[in-house]
Chain A
Amino acid sequence: MTRLDATRVLAAALADDPVVASLGHPAYDLFATGDRDTYFYTWGSMGLASSVGLGLAVARPERRVVVLDGDGSLLMNLGSLATIGWVKPKNLVVIVWDNGLYGTTGGQDTATAHGADLEAAARALGIAATATVRMPGELERVMARTRTEGGPWVIVAKVDESQPTVKPPQDCVAIKNRFMTAIGVHRAMGR
């Protein structure tokens, strides 16, 4: 399963769920499956997608918040799993596209190619709802479980690298405003 295949499965499992996409290939592939106003594409701040997702999940407990992270990005901010394991927002779903390499920067190995197990790390840091999936059907089934079984979830999806061909919009303020309007925040803030 390539990351793009997996992203297609994921996008089909989303309704109007807000999604925070880590910079680079996870964001590019999400855009490739069809742009939505509820997608927050990051263009920097490597490692922080799960942290942004945590804040969003706390602020909007009525929404299922989905984070698309990469193995390299999550390794940069592993402490985030400890904070998520402490705060335990039931509505947070962190998906880690784990291809064992830094795909956006030229394919250097990450630690997951040499034994690091991010699902085990999540469990060790207090997150009980976890899975590692390798096939599209498995990802589909676990995404269905996140609708009914409380999180926080960390789902490690083992994927093969695929070369993205498109990039999402690059106007950061426009991305933010569109996202906040789509999830109803601007109306609530009187803007």
Chain B
Amino acid sequence: MSPLWATNTCAGLHAAGSRHVVYVPDNPLSHVLGVLRDRHPDVQTTIATREEEAFGIAAGLYLGGKLPTVMLQSSGLGNSINAVTSLLVPYQIPMLILISMRGDAGEWNAAQVPMGRAVEPICHAIGLSTVTVASAEDAAEAVALAGKTAFMTRLPGVCLLPRRVTALAPNVVA
């Protein structure tokens, strides 16, 4: 059994047409990876050594005709900014970007807070639109819309997975 938010996140990713996920893992995202493995074997996953590298690999997948997703923890956005601003945005290379949030409501680790607070302002400053998943039930629609909008408009789009959905919500399973 997997958490409902993870099952719905994978359904949304799949509905957006993405069959390639490049990622740097974190704890909540391990649930997403588990659902992909068990329920969506047609989705190919690749682990990168660093978030910036993941964006490069995903850009190559798009150039080759695939609709990629990049998954990362919010802390990794800081490692990714040059890839977003000098490759994805100027070349109009779209992808679905799923960010597992740290440093937002419910955080226990002070070292996660400064970046967590900065994620949305940074995204908007560098040309990334953001959608935030409101609840486990909302995840499928929010993720699918973020992905479809990205691929239709040929611009990268971010979907934020807040901690109160991924880590603090009642452990509803599906």
Contact = CB atoms under 8 A, between A and B. Distances in A.
Interface of A: 20, 40, 42-60, 77, 79-80, 82-83, 86-87, 172-173, 175-176, 179-180, 183, 185, 188-189
Contact of B59 (A55, A58, A173): A55
B85 interface: yes
Contacts of B49: 79-80, 82-83
Interface stretch (B61-69, B110-118, B133-141): B61-69
B132 to A, nearest CB: 27
Contacts of A45: 56, 82-83, 86-87
A162 B43 CA distance: 45
B90 A172 contact: yes
B60 A55 contact: yes
Contacts of A87: 46
A183 B60 CA distance: 13
A83 B64 CA distance: 18
A58 B66 CA distance: 10
Given A60-B65, A172-B91, A52 B82 contact: no
A20 B57 CA distance: 12
B96 interface: no
A176 B55 contact: no
A185 B59 CA distance: 14
Nearest to B60: A55
Interface of B: 20, 22, 44, 46-50, 52-53, 55-66, 68, 82-83, 85-87, 90-93
Contact of B64 (A47, A59, A79, A175): A59
Nearest to A76: B52
A110 B56 CA distance: 23
Contacts of A43: 86, 90
7 contacts: A42-B87, A48-B59, A52-B87, A54-B60, A55-B62, A80-B49, A83-B48
A127 to B, nearest CB: 14
A56 B91 contact: no
Nearest to B64: A59
Contacts of B91: 172-173, 175-176
Given A83-B53, A176-B91, A20 B60 contact: yes
A55 B56 contact: yes
* Those 7 A-B pairs whose CB atoms lie nearest each other, nearest first: A55-B60, A44-B86, A59-B64, A51-B56, A79-B49, A48-B56, A56-B60
A79 B48 contact: yes
A44 B53 contact: no
Nearest to A189: B65
Contact of A58 (B46, B56, B83): B46
